[in-house]
Amino acid sequence: MSVAASPNISVVTDKAKVSPVNTKDRPFPLEWTRNIGIAAHIDAGKTTTTERILFYSGAVHKMGDVDDGNTVTDWMEQERERGITITAAAISCAWNPSCGPWKGIKQRINIIDTPGHVDFTAEVERSLRVLDGAIAVFDAVAGVQPQSETVWRQANKYKVPRLAFINKMDRVGANFHRSIDDIRTKLKSNAHAIFLPIGAEENFRGLIDLVQMVAYIFPVEDKELGLNPVTSEIPADMMATAKEYHDKLVEAVSDFDDVIAEKYLGGGEITVDELMLGVRKATISLQFCGVVPGSAFKKKGVQRLLDCVVNYLPSPIDVPPMQGQDSDGNPVEAVVNDKGKLAGLAFKLWTDPFVGKLVFFRVYTGTVKQGMSLYNPRTRRTERVSRLVLMRAIEREEIDTAFSGDICALVGVKDVITGDTLCDEDFDIRLEPPSFPEPVISMSIEPNSKADQEKLGIALQRLVAEDPTLRVKTDPDSGQTILSGMGELHLDIIRDRMKREFKVEATFGKPQIAYRETVLKPTDGEGKFIRQSGGKGQYGHVCVKLEPNEKGKGVEVVNEIVGGAIPKEFIKPATEGILEGCNNGVVAGFPVVDVIVRIVDGSFHEVDSSELAFKMAGIFAFKDAMKKANPILLEPIMGVEVTTPEEYQGDLIGDINRRRGAILGMENKSGACIIDARVPLELLFGYITDIRSLSKGRASAALTPSHFAQVPNSQLAKIVETNAKGPARS
């Protein structure tokens, strides 16, 4: 996006001069509002950073810590016990920036703290879908880690401008410049420092602002938890370095701002305000990422990060309008305007023990008021909002009105799922929903009693409504309930929640792999369904061509019937039959993926043909074709990044090889060896425990879904036999 393509990017410091899209009664103008997410790899320090932001902004009066289990945004029992974030929590605060054009003007910042563990990636996905900006947190020692890459790709997908916060600058091995190089090489980002650290590790004592060219020093004797950094001149021994990086920043920003480019090339003086606006334009263009160092745990640098959020990340009117479609599939925009027709996205559902079902809602245009009715284009029904609340993690603040750009929660709406658009009835729009990855692991559930059976049904209904990556089905052979999710930890948390929140006593089967099936060659198939029983019979006849599809494209059914060989009214049931056949492949009964099925011929009977007959014929035709198309079984492969002291490197590589893993690369960083590998998920159960045993507790690993690959012939018979005995199919 060029500067010319961003006419809305401006600085409004007078409330009387804000855009006319604001109504007079809104507490914060749109220009003074920021909707941001904090996202990163697990243990990079997202929740600690959020806690410091809430404290410095006055939203809380006592800082919480993950280790103490008293953080605001990690409010679930499981989060506090395990020290991890499981569910994205929304919270609002206000900030008076200490520098820049908005200095002293209170700004509204709506924050969503997201999980770092790959099993809860759906929480990150749906949060980024509705946010205008993000802070990507990186560990100053580890740099870019696997889940950092996943989060970055998600932000790219939804075109979210972001800042990078290099956290843990106080740790041994912290290296700010190496972390920036990591962001550039691994994430392909145009990352540039907008602050430099003064010192590192135990000597980390301040920051240099490369825009204002001043230093912020944290006094050793400061007892106010980092509240009072001292503004001073840049230390003499760092002035040359600061000027070098200031010039690099100006050069980078000149690509996005004509005023700065002209002055830079002509040798003119660039003011602080001009450079700030240039950094803002560059950040919002998605082609630039400013980098800030700090230590959230040691309370250093978080205030400057908040200043950057206000000065450089976009307000709701700085980003392009949300895209949607009308009922005919034509593109429609939801342009931010308090006075416009209402449209917003339901991006998360949560069951609250006190108020019932909460629907987290991002208002894109218009206003939503308590008591009003909202139209759902998916169900074609209206839903009444009985109450409207602002979320402060687990706490709620009742409000009468939510304005465009706000993130709130609706109470009272019932028939709503994640990704639904809610709008005025005369506004024909469906906003683009977030997309979610497919589950990779399953387990069976057997309730212990009839009473537990009833409670299990209620629990599953609520949990599946809340979590789009959680799937439930009944195994047709055994009648058992099968639950599918994103990983061992995901299913473990669900099991724990069932017991604690819903009081379900049940027996859980061992987690099983969600295999898939596909084909290697094109072929033909024919299916006939003929029944004669004295009266009217059944007749359906379908011929198909089956061929491999591109990876990740799923199943496509194409109607190529010409000349009326199959009447139009029977094409739909034939298609439904083919899709139903894809639910259970011919190798081991797993879902079929990445195939194209073309309906090319068939025949019908004037009297005996029916929708049921053609649906059955579609199933038979698909099965017939698949048997002849070299069907194969696919297994999920995980990306595994192991960080270990060098003395355990050989043992851990040997362990990966025993698990049918492939080593892609190794590098040394800060005295540790980092092993990058791909390993079948089937052989990774209990892996974290195993590597801790092999390394005496000193190694760690991060697992991320990578791809599906063909199961080796040597393993195929064992997998088919195992899954023929049990109900564990995904």
- pLDDT digit string, tens, across residues 345-392: 988 887 776 677 888 899 999 999 999 999 999 999 999 999 898 876
Residues 525 and 493 placed together within one structural domain of the fold: no
In this structure, what DSSP letter does residue 451 have?
H
pLDDT of residue 7: 42
Provide the mean pLDDT of the chain.
85
Residues 469 and 492 placed together within one structural domain of the fold: yes
Domain residues for the domain of 510 are 441-515
Q: Residue 5: CA atoms inside 13 Å, Cβ hemisphere, count?
A: 10
Cα–Cα distance, 211 to 194 (Å, whole number)? 7
Cα–Cα distance, 48 to 66 (Å, whole number)? 7
* pLDDT tops 80 at residue 726: no
pLDDT of residue 62: 58
Residues 576 and 683 placed together within one structural domain of the fold: no
Q: Strands of 61-160 (E only): list them.
A: 89-95, 107-113, 133-139
Among residues 209, 305, 293, the alpha carbon closest in space to that of 249 is found at: 209
Would you say 544 and 599 are in contact if contact means Cβ atoms under 8 Å apart? yes
Query: Within 158-215, where are the H helices?
Result: 176-187
Among residues 725, 614, 631, 637, the alpha carbon closest in space to that of 684 is found at: 637
- What is the end-to-end Cα distance of the chain in Å, rounded? 42
* pLDDT tops 70 at residue 524: yes
Token digits for 598? 């073309």
Would you say 182 and 143 are in contact if contact means Cβ atoms under 8 Å apart? yes
**CATH number, domain containing residue 458:** 3.30.70.870
Residues 498 and 581 placed together within one structural domain of the fold: no
Q: Is residue 232, in this structure, part of any structural domain at all? A: yes
Residues 511 and 578 placed together within one structural domain of the fold: no
Each residue of 7-25: pLDDT tens digit? 457 677 777 777 888 888 8
Each residue of 129-144: pLDDT tens digit? 889 999 999 999 988 8
Each residue of 328-350: pLDDT tens digit? 888 999 999 999 999 999 888 87
Each residue of 544-592: pLDDT tens digit? 999 999 988 889 999 998 888 999 999 999 999 999 999 989 998 889 9
Residues 353 and 475 placed together within one structural domain of the fold: no
Residues 565 and 502 placed together within one structural domain of the fold: no
pLDDT of residue 85: 52
Cα–Cα distance, 274 to 259 (Å, whole number)? 8
Q: Which of 283, 312, 341 is the last residue of a domain?
A: 312
Residues 167 and 206 placed together within one structural domain of the fold: yes
The count of domains in the chain is 5
Question: Mean pLDDT over residues 86-101, rounded?
Answer: 78
Among residues 631, 593, 603, 486, the alpha carbon closest in space to that of 539 is found at: 603
Q: Is residue 317, in this structure, part of any structural domain at all? A: no
Residues 146 and 220 placed together within one structural domain of the fold: yes
In this structure, what DSSP letter does residue 15 have?
G
Each residue of 236-293: pLDDT tens digit? 999 999 999 999 999 999 999 888 999 888 888 889 999 999 999 999 999 999 999 9
* pLDDT tops 50 at residue 730: no
In this structure, what DSSP letter does residue 128 have?
H
**CATH number, domain containing residue 418:** 2.40.30.10
Lowest mean pLDDT among 234-248, 613-627, 641-655: 641-655
Q: Which of 431, 466, 482 is the last residue of a domain?
A: 431
Q: Is residue 15, in this structure, part of any structural domain at all? A: no
Would you say 675 and 641 are in contact if contact means Cβ atoms under 8 Å apart? yes
* pLDDT tops 80 at residue 512: no
Token digits for 449? 């009693």
Residues paired with 408 in a beta bridge: 361
Grade residue 111 by pLDDT with cuts at 50, 70 and 90.
confident
More confident of the two residues 100 and 578? 578
Residues 296 and 198 placed together within one structural domain of the fold: yes
Cα–Cα distance, 633 to 659 (Å, whole number)? 18
Residues 118 and 194 placed together within one structural domain of the fold: yes
Cα–Cα distance, 125 to 435 (Å, whole number)? 7
